[in-house]
Amino acid sequence: MTARVIGGRYELRSRLAKGGMGTVWLAWDRTLQRSVALKEVVLAPYGEDMTVRRKRALREARAAARIRHPAVVHVYDAIMDDESPWIVMSYIEGTSLERRIERQTLSEREIARVGRDVLAGLTAVHDAQVLHRDVKPANIIVDSEDRVFLVDFGIARISGERGLTSANTLIGTVEFMAPERIEGQPVGPASDLWSLGVTLFCALEGYSPFLRDGPIETVRAVTSGHPPSFRRPGPLADAITGLLVADPAGRTGAAELGRRLDAILTAGSRARGRGEERRTGPGQDRKARGGQDPRPPNREARGGQGAHGPGREARRGPDDHGPERVREAGRGPGAHGPDRAGDAARPGEAGDGGNPLLGRSGREAATLLGSMEPNDAGRLLNDAAKTPGPAAEALALLPPPRAARLIDHMIPQRAARLVGAMPTGLSASVLAYTDDRVTAAVLGALGVVPVAVRLVEAMTLRRACRVLAHMPPAVVARLLSATSDGRTDRLLGGLGRAVREEFTRLTGAT
């Protein structure tokens, strides 16, 4: 099947995401020989004619292109093709904050760090006289090096320009809209800060505070003036409460929010430092105390900035997209200037038995894995898993999203060997980012052993149900009978009748 080419230049490869304001595609730029992200602007969901749609596309491009900040998407071009507008952006693979929230519980410090980076990007946006107007977890991307990107300017508004939305039409995700937007009042930077507050609430509490069964009920919840309650009180909850004040004039501003988030990050750093000193004493390195460095072994910058995001409507159900990771446009192997591990990656030149991972230090092996395409790295890991210790050490040194990407390209039985050889906490962090079916296959390969039980216990309830649904009922029943985290009944309630029957037969429960 012949690939569609947009603008005579951009070859569509696959659909990355689809939302209310358009579809984002992975494409190949034939002219510059690099991957890019193309946003196909939605045609006519609000009854506007082609002239208005064209203006919106060009406005989005101008809004994003005038901003230069590491946490803001880099827009290359805006074109028309077959009477449809397209936005050309840098391609970055990544994990949305929405997906992270669904997969695991985030610490206050993690949330504060994401919030601080998004706030910095929003400040740059506001300094350019632009309002984003669609800040939400789906539009925040975190890459494998923990860099944060604010994406999708599909409904951005440039100060001083006439609005392009139809009369009596709200464009955006209502549960994240500030009350003044819904009520048709003047809006400003405080409106984006409200949306950031709702986003941070979702990250802290694990659910969307104003989402209701229907749009009318959701609007009422947003405009009621009643702030949501917190199950995790503390400094972060206090900062979020200040953002969810109905009156924009009384809402916490960017400067004050920045100070509060910085205080949370500083306190967290001090607490971690004191904890490590108590455990190990000052001056001991991480390797000597048996820990793992969660950062990648090579932290050099990988080119320009930018990200693209899904722009999906927030929802309460699980995300149906596969695992994601962030990569800059055109940054494949060898695209960093001199190929950092190109020579080392030649089989037979290093290591043992022709596998370049063997015979290296964990850090050297991790550097090599981090420079390779996932399918190539997966093949090396499959072979290296015959003696899992060194490969598991290298995998543990990679950021969890990157390590998960490699496991997705491994034979499950081989991946299980590496997962079983890693500390349970690290392996749980990695499996939090693998595809549900891959995770199920890895657990199945491990069998009903303590490490598999602990990995299930480390999952959120929703993720555990999704993963276990792909496993044989008899195996699931045995795993659940071995858990001790008090969630067995809730897990059984989320699984099928066959699992419940197997569990009853196995345990004699009624």
Q: How confident is the model at residue 265 (pLDDT cuts 50, 70, 90)?
A: very high
pLDDT above 70 for 283: no
Largest CA distance in the chain: 70
Catalytic residues: 134
Q: Looking at the domain covering 5-90, what would its CATH class be? A: alpha beta
What does the pLDDT look like over 25-70, one tens digit per residue?
889 999 999 999 888 876 554 555 667 767 766 776 776 777 888 8
What does the pLDDT look like over 77-89, one tens digit per residue?
888 887 777 888 8
Residue 72 DSSP one-character state: B
pLDDT given at position 452:
92
Two tokens at 133?
Answer: 């107007």
Residue 205 CA to residue 237 CA, distance in Å, equals 9
Report pTM: 0.56
Which amino acid, residue 347?
P
Percent share of the chain, pLDDT over 70: 74
Of 133, 181, 129, give the one whose Cα is nearest residue 160. Answer: 129
pLDDT given at position 468:
92
Tokens 């999203």 -> residue: 401
Q: What DSSP element (H or E) covers 205?
A: helix 189-205
Buried b or exposed e, range 227-242, using 16+ CB within 10 angstroms: bbebeeeeebbebbbb
Greater model confidence, 144 or 467: 467
Q: What DSSP element (H or E) covers 79?
A: strand 75-81
pLDDT given at position 344:
34
Greater model confidence, 205 or 331: 205
pLDDT given at position 161:
43
Mean pLDDT score of the chain: 77
Greater model confidence, 266 or 83: 266
Of 433, 162, 231, 399, give the one whose Cα is nearest residue 323. Answer: 433
Residue 498 CA to residue 32 CA, distance in Å, equals 54
Question: Helices 436-446 and 461-468 sit at what angle, rounded to 10 degrees?
Answer: 70
Average pLDDT of span 220-229: 90
pLDDT given at position 78:
81
Which amino acid, residue 196?
L
Q: How confident is the model at residue 299 (pLDDT cuts 50, 70, 90)?
A: very low
Q: How many beta carbons lie within 10 A of that of residue 60, not counting itself?
A: 25
Domain ranges of the chain: 5-90, 94-159+169-267, 372-507
- Contact, 411 vs 384, CB < 8 A? no
pLDDT given at position 501:
87
- Contact, 150 vs 195, CB < 8 A? no
pLDDT given at position 424:
86
Q: What angle do CA 302, 307, 308 make, to 5 degrees?
A: 150
Q: How confident is the model at residue 137 (pLDDT cuts 50, 70, 90)?
A: very high
Percent share of the chain, pLDDT over 90: 28
pLDDT given at position 166:
40
What does the pLDDT look like over 239-252, one tens digit per residue?
999 999 999 999 99
What does the pLDDT look like over 308-341, one tens digit per residue?
443 333 333 333 333 333 333 333 333 333 333 3
pLDDT above 80 for 290: no
- Contact, 396 vs 423, CB < 8 A? yes
Signed CA dihedral, 233, 235, 238, 240: sign only? negative
Residue 243 CA to residue 259 CA, distance in Å, equals 14
Q: How confident is the model at residue 345 (pLDDT cuts 50, 70, 90)?
A: very low
β-strand partners of 495: none
pLDDT given at position 214:
83
pLDDT above 80 for 466: yes
What does the pLDDT look like over 366-415, one tens digit per residue?
888 888 888 888 888 988 888 888 889 888 888 888 888 899 889 999 99
pLDDT above 70 for 75: yes
pLDDT given at position 347:
35
Residue 480 CA to residue 456 CA, distance in Å, equals 9
pLDDT given at position 277:
46
Most confident of 113-127, 172-186, 288-302: 113-127
CATH homologous superfamily of 94-159+169-267 equals: Transferase(Phosphotransferase) domain 1 (1.10.510.10)
Q: Would you state the torsion angle of the CA atoms of residues 104, 24, 320, 177, taken in this order, to the nearest 10 degrees?
A: 60
Task: Region of 102 please: left (phi>0), alpha (psi -120 to 50) or beta.
Answer: alpha
pLDDT above 50 for 8: yes
